[in-house]
A and B are shown apart, each in its own frame.
Chain A
Amino acid sequence: MNRKCKLIIILSFVLCLTACWDAKELDDLYLVYGIGIDISEDNPEEFFVTIVAPTIHPEGEKTKIEISSQGSSMRNAQDNIQSKAARRITFNNTKVFLVGEDAARNGLEKHIDTMLRDPEGRGSIRLAINEGRAVDLLNMKLPHIPYISLYLVESLEQSYETTTIPNTSLRDFNHELYTDGIEPIVPFIRYGNKPTELLINNIALFQQDKMIGILEKEESKTLMKLRGKIYEGFFSIAYSHEEKNIENILSLRIIRGRNKITTEIKDNKLHIYNNISLTTNISEYTGAHRVFDDNAIKEIEEIANNTLKSSCEQLLLRLQKELKNDNIGYGRYVRVNHPEYFDDKRWNEQFSNAKIHVNTNIKVKMVGVVQ
């Protein structure tokens, strides 16, 4: 009897080993790949949130589902989305967080806090601002790819590798938001000439959590170089040699780059030295002149240096005088090197009055396989 009892008890324990009684099947969930947020068109006090998730339904006509809803906060709107969805919504696999232009000017801190507070949200989710409304971009149909969110993540990564934009994640944004001496930057997506074309080469500038300006194509590249986030990419200059009347273009392929920032206080004035070094190869030259020549290379290097220097100075002028906003992060160096001078409350003002010296050192190593 005793043995039988034991056997029954042990066997009943085996039932516990089946495990995962509350496991969720993949086709019972909407795995949200992309989230977008806008200011509501009906009520400017409210937000309009859109999610995109693959449907994984063999008989479904579409491979993905987009659901939007309005709410007083991001989570509130998400809650309203859930009431429109047939399956449970999960943010465990979210790849990208898109913010419409208006919502970005309104401030991002509260939305990012919502995303990161829940353990479902990851710090590595990519953040991007887009021209117009996020819902329009998330609903965009691209003929070559089913999921726009994944396409965006890949495009952002590509543009980052060509030293065009930052690949800002939610955590990066948070870091720059809460750290003294630096203001956040986020990729800005524009529409191209065709309805299915996207331009991923602009940067949205932030002061605290609010967007205050946009840098276009070349300016974005210059900002990335000033920040020292230099990977690959091209750098084009006008080089005509002796044919003064013809505008020839010479493109340099960046192989690697370095950026060194030092600071100094001289006569009570802050001097910042930003030295940018680039190692490049010639990858294009539209002129007829031979570039396989030592003097020509020296000349190219000089023109390239001057071009980069002047574009850096132009950008700095805009940041210092027009926007009065340190998106490069010089303040972090000043805080470390001159803690007695650095004032976290007035840093942007100190930055706008600082004397910034940009030195560029571009080296051409190879001319390609054509002389």
Chain B
Amino acid sequence: MIKKNQTDVISVGQIYIMIISMMVGTGVLNLSRTVAEVSKQDGWISVLLAGVLITTLMGIMIFVTSRFGENSFLQYTSYLLSKPVGYLVAFLYGIYATLLTSIVVRFLCELIITWFLPRTPIYVVSFIIVITIVNITKNGLTNVARFNEIMVFAILPLVFLIFLGIPETSILNLRPVGGVGFSKIAEGIVPSFYAFSGYEVVLILYPFIDNKNKSLLKGSMLSVFSVTILYTATVASQLALFGFQEINRMLYPSIHYLNIVETVLLERVEVLFSIFWLFSVIGTITIQYLAGCIVMQSIFHTKGIHLYTYILAPIIYILSIYPENSVKVVEYSDKIGKMNIFFGIVLPILLLLMYLMRGKRSNYEQKM
């Protein structure tokens, strides 16, 4: 059983917000390019399918974790997959969380340096981000949840910004619908995973939810689905504006999308977007980082999580400044996106199968 104290409890509402905040991150910047490279004008269908798939996986994750109440990630994986494998999976998750956090920190640095601080060295920007994260996460999950509750308001303007470019779009760029064939559309699901990655933190955070109720399953799935709708609309509008051929030449289509619009009040909408987006990404990083720390703490049985928030910080910092250039950053993020396939897809299905094979909760509780 995990030991809860006041700083490590989150409410049901907070977990919904954390799921949304966790998923909306750096991936949205280049999502339309990565899918359009594979499934061309049907990229939005790939994203929609990926979202539906992930909504189902979210259902599976909540279903499995809810059978184990307040037992930690390490405990139930150890039970379902045997102790050595459970430890291995937990340890790998710790590494994955560290890598994912550092690549997101790096993405954030890239954006800040490109748009705001072109002459500030990356190690300074990264350092400031990392100490901010440590400051937010060191006091535990409740603080992070509250921070994200506020930060979710930074995501709302992003939704409205999708509509800005609509008058310039042409539906012709989305036609013929389904023209690339089902196999290409299915292939396009893989690159969309990076944009969605992060939803698997539910496996780690579930035990910390206070007053779990039946609506949790529905609510979590709805949270994932709302992100799916946001992403599908984003990709469809960008494809309709640029067409898949032009999108292939852009590094961050989401920012280019705003770059072409001049509103009455603001000349440079993309700068406003970047500011809001920056906070939403900080939200993503805090959750991912803390999830890694929680797992590490459970492996080594130390007293508090805060110790790991300090230990992992230098690692994150070094990893974030490691990629030599933007090309390498995108390369690494693709690789980490592929690792997400294990934790986001294979692991939940494996856990479900093992749960069904190894019996129900009552048996489990007798064994404990």
Chain A interface residues (CB < 8 Å from chain B): 92-93, 119, 122-124, 169, 171, 174-175, 178-180, 332-333, 336-337, 339
Contact = CB atoms under 8 A, between A and B. Distances in A.
A122 B266 CA distance: 13
B135 to A, nearest CB: 14
Given A119-B114, A175-B242, A336-B176, A124 B249 contact: no
A179 B244 CA distance: 8
Contacts, number: 40
Given A119-B115, A175-B246, 13 more contacts: A93-B267, A119-B114, A123-B256, A123-B260, A124-B259, A124-B260, A124-B262, A171-B260, A178-B245, A179-B243, A180-B245, A333-B172, A336-B175
Interface of B: 114-115, 172, 175-176, 179, 242-243, 245-246, 249, 256, 259-262, 267-268
Given A92-B268, A122-B268, A178-B249, A336 B172 contact: yes
A336 B175 CA distance: 6
A368 to B, nearest CB: 32
Nearest 10 pairs between A and B by C-beta? A123-B260, A336-B175, A123-B259, A178-B246, A171-B260, A178-B245, A179-B243, A175-B246, A179-B245, A124-B262
Contacts of A337: 176
Nearest to A120: B118
A332 B175 CA distance: 10
A336 B173 CA distance: 9
B268 A169 contact: no
Contacts of A339: 176, 179
B281 to A, nearest CB: 18
A204 B133 CA distance: 54
Contacts of A119: 114-115
A174 B243 CA distance: 11
Contacts of B262: 124
Nearest to B249: A178
B242 A122 contact: no
A123 B260 CA distance: 5
B253 to A, nearest CB: 11
Contact of A174 (B172, B176, B246): B246
A339 B175 CA distance: 11
Most buried by B among A174, A332, A336: A336
25 contacts: A92-B268, A93-B267, A119-B114, A122-B259, A122-B260, A122-B268, A123-B256, A123-B259, A124-B259, A124-B260, A169-B260, A171-B260, A175-B243, A175-B246, A178-B243, A178-B246, A178-B249, A179-B245, A180-B245, A336-B172, A336-B175, A336-B176, A336-B179, A339-B176, A339-B179
Contacts of B179: 336, 339
A124 B261 CA distance: 7
Contacts of A171: 256, 259-260
A339 B42 CA distance: 15
A112 to B, nearest CB: 11
A93 B246 CA distance: 24
Contacts of A122: 259-260, 268
Contacts of B261: 124
B231 to A, nearest CB: 22
A92 B259 CA distance: 12
A123 B245 CA distance: 17
B246 A179 contact: yes
A258 to B, nearest CB: 15
Nearest to A338: B176
Contacts of B256: 123, 171
Contact of B172 (A92, A123, A169, A332): A332
A343 B261 CA distance: 33
A75 to B, nearest CB: 15
A339 B243 CA distance: 16
Contacts of A169: 260
Contacts of A175: 242-243, 246
B266 to A, nearest CB: 12
A122 B172 CA distance: 25
Contacts of A174: 246, 249
A170 to B, nearest CB: 9
A41 B281 CA distance: 51
Nearest to B262: A124
Contacts of A178: 243, 245-246, 249
Contacts of B246: 174-175, 178-179
